[in-house]
Chain A
Amino acid sequence: MNFFNAHVSETHIRLRDRLWLYIFSIIVLFLLIVPSLVVIPMSFSDSQYLEFPPRNWSLRWYENYFSSGKVGMGFNDWLGATWTSVKVAVLTIFVATPLGTMAAYGLINSSSKLRSVLFPVMISPMIIPVILVAIGLFYFYVKFRMVDSLLGLVLGHSLVAMPLVLIIVLAGLKNYDMNQEKVARSLGASRLRAFFEITLPQIKFSIVSACLISFLTSFDEVIISLFVAGGDNSTITRAMFLALRDQIDPTIAAISTILIIISSGLLLLVQLFGTKKE
């Protein structure tokens, strides 16, 4: 048993002596990953009840999802809700990423005193409990007749996504030497041109990550959508939440499977861009 007697750390502890740590860690990792995946086999079950393993396989819940009519309960059909979610998430990229990037650029070039005042204000959407942001927005939208509107949803989701964009782009800019831009400008480029031709290509991986994360943040957002979305502009997360509160509809397993594929696909993209950067 040479393997178990091997020294595994600086303290010359033997593998055998902390085998428990390895087993424990693998169990925790298993508990982190596997539970969400259970929805995948469930979505192919024929039964209305959620038995595991499913006795008969079928695609009926996917058919139900793709051919869904009105589901009642104050939101549009599943497909319509998915379409709204995609629209809102794409629009959120176009609001959150430019605003977050501009703010990061302004912040990194400003004095440290100003930065220490502005930064906490800027990440406040992350600090304040989302439920408060949601009811605050609800109040604001009632006043300006923006409840149930696409614009309201996009602005709400952008608020939550912007701090993430800010942090990602700030991290990107910290590894970038601003003097390069000064060189470009001293050679006659305008500030805008210097930014687009010199700075942007060098922080593009941060910006791509920021775009993907804006999309995912908006796509997964529940609480703001719950308050400010409705009618034809209900998002998929809102529809799922309302359905989950009342019954366990296996259609949700099918939707969950689709959502898992989308988010792990995007995560893979972020990881690929991230490793390329290094």
Chain B
Amino acid sequence: MGFECQIVLLWKNLMTLSSEHINEASLRRLNRQERYKLFGLTLPYLVLVTALIIIPIGWLFYMSFIGRDGTLSLENYTRMIDSKAYMRIFITTFKISILTTLICAMLGYPLTYFMSQLPKKWAGLCMIGVLIPFWTSLLVRTYAWLVLLQKKGIVNTILVDLELISAPIKFVHNTSGTLIGMAHIMLPFLILPLYANMRTIDKDCIRAAASLGATPSRAFWTVFFPLSIPGLLAGLLIVFVLCLGFYVTPAILGGGRVIMVAMKISSNIELYFSWGAASALGVVLLLFTLLILFLASKLVSMDQISGRN
């Protein structure tokens, strides 16, 4: 039907051009005009992204090669390698990102598996439980953890009352507080792609394994788990990449003791107006992010992630 409509449409257009003959050349020209018009619709979006993201980031890239005296140099990068402080920031960033990702995997995989086994109605209810924190403001959640984990906060009060600990533990303004807060914020990012993937796994495969004599745990490890790897990988990578550039939660729950790359970039600009150093850090952060996403795209195809094979 579509093809016929197109013919009628073209014929109609051609009638308005009355003088011309219906030949292949004019058909092609009309087709091309149509395509240009449609491409034009994407232009405002592209212009905005180019002007406000691509060009400024290109400029940051350029700034990262400008030294203090205003000439081209690699000093911003050599300083990053030489300086112990910068190395420590990179190590902290990777450490926090890897740990957060692992915590999310350990908490998220069983929960998602549980959800994928439930009837759709119940799974939908659990999904609301995952989406509520997803859409609650980042700041609100960070603040809530600050309240919960304080020295006189609820967590410490309960632990002391249960006599599990004798004195309140310091949870906030250090690495453990940062990890707890970040894992809470990142967990939905792991669950969503993993759940989409697990829902597409054919239950008949597991049934087949069971009927051939596999024990429940063997059926899980040899059939279900391998099939869920694309979703798990997608979730892990999203979480890891988001952690690398994270700013708000470590800034508040880390209390200045946990310094990640994004915070250093910000302080370089806000406190020291040092665009060169900030840009170089930014370029390195961006390259890591893109590298990881590139590797990810080689490992899992986007269709596998969204479950549309």
Contact of B136 with A264 in the complex, beta carbons under 8 Å: yes
Give the docked Cα–Cα distance between A31 and B129 (Å): 10
Q: Can you list, as one digit per residue, whether each of B218-246 has a CB less than 8 Å from chain A (1) or not (0)? A: 01100000000000000000000000110
Q: Can you list, as one digit per residue, whether each of B1-44 has a CB less than 8 Å from chain A (1) or not (0)? A: 11001101100100000000000000000000001011111101
Contact of A21 with B152 in the complex, beta carbons under 8 Å: no
Q: Which of A106, A158, A237, A271 contacts B48 (CB 8 A)?
A: A158
Contact of B265 with A131 in the complex, beta carbons under 8 Å: yes
When A10-B207, A129-B289, A241-B139 are in contact, do A109 and B38 touch as well, CB less than 8 Å?
yes
Interface residues of A in 141-194 (CB under 8 A from B): 155-156, 158-159, 162, 166, 178-179, 182-183, 185-186, 188, 191
Contact of A155 with B52 in the complex, beta carbons under 8 Å: yes
Tell me, yes or no, whether B147 is within 8 Å of chain A by CB: yes
Contact of B44 with A99 in the complex, beta carbons under 8 Å: yes
Give the docked Cα–Cα distance between A11 and B217 (Å): 9
Tell me, yes or no, whether A127 is within 8 Å of chain B by CB: yes
**Binding site of B, secondary structure by majority: helix, strand, loop or mixed?**
helix
Residues of A within 8 A of B52 (CB): 136-137, 140, 155-156, 159
Residues of A within 8 A of B157 (CB): 52
Contact of B48 with A162 in the complex, beta carbons under 8 Å: yes
Contact of A36 with B286 in the complex, beta carbons under 8 Å: no
Among the 9-residue stretches A61-69, A116-124, A199-207, the one with 4 or more Cβ atoms under 8 Å from chain B is A116-124
Tell me, yes or no, whether B80 is within 8 Å of chain A by CB: no
Among the 9-residue stretches B65-73, B82-90, B111-119, B162-170, the one with 4 or more Cβ atoms under 8 Å from chain A is B111-119
B130 closest partner in A (C-beta)? A32
Q: Which of A10, A24, A32 contacts B210 (CB 8 A)?
A: A10
Contact of A139 with B45 in the complex, beta carbons under 8 Å: no
Contact of B286 with A128 in the complex, beta carbons under 8 Å: yes
When A21-B114, A129-B244, A252-B143 are in contact, do A11 and B41 touch as well, CB less than 8 Å?
no
Give the docked Cα–Cα distance between A25 and B37 (Å): 51
A250 closest partner in B (C-beta)? B147
Nearest-neighbour CB distance to chain B for A154, whole angstroms, equals 11
Give the docked Cα–Cα distance between A179 and B115 (Å): 38
A136 closest partner in B (C-beta)? B56
Residues of A within 8 A of B46 (CB): 103, 118, 121-122
Tell me, yes or no, whether B258 is within 8 Å of chain A by CB: no
Contact of B252 with A245 in the complex, beta carbons under 8 Å: yes
Contact of B111 with A25 in the complex, beta carbons under 8 Å: yes
Contact of A10 with B206 in the complex, beta carbons under 8 Å: yes
Q: Which of A135, A185, A256, A264 contacts B143 (CB 8 A)?
A: A256
Contact of A36 with B136 in the complex, beta carbons under 8 Å: yes
Q: Can you list, as one digit per residue, whether each of B269-293 has a CB less than 8 Å from chain A (1) or not (0)? A: 1000001001000100110011001
Would you list the 8 A-B pairs with minimal beta carbon distance, nearest first? A129-B245, A136-B56, A106-B41, A25-B114, A103-B45, A106-B42, A182-B5, A13-B216
Can you offer 15 A-B residue contacts whose CB atoms are under 8 A? A11-B206, A21-B110, A22-B114, A25-B110, A35-B184, A36-B133, A103-B44, A105-B41, A114-B39, A127-B293, A128-B57, A135-B266, A222-B138, A223-B247, A256-B143
Chain A contacts to B: CB under 8 angstroms: 8-13, 17-18, 21-22, 24-25, 28-29, 31-33, 35-39, 42, 49-52, 99-100, 102-103, 105-107, 109-111, 114, 118, 121-122, 124-125, 127-133, 135-140, 155-156, 158-159, 162, 166, 178-179, 182-183, 185-186, 188, 191, 216, 219-220, 222-223, 226-227, 237, 240-241, 244-245, 248, 252-253, 256, 259-260, 263-264, 266-267, 271
11 extra A-B contacts, CB within 8 A, seeds A25-B126, A28-B111, A216-B135:
A13-B216, A36-B132, A50-B150, A106-B39, A118-B46, A122-B46, A128-B286, A128-B289, A222-B247, A241-B248, A244-B143
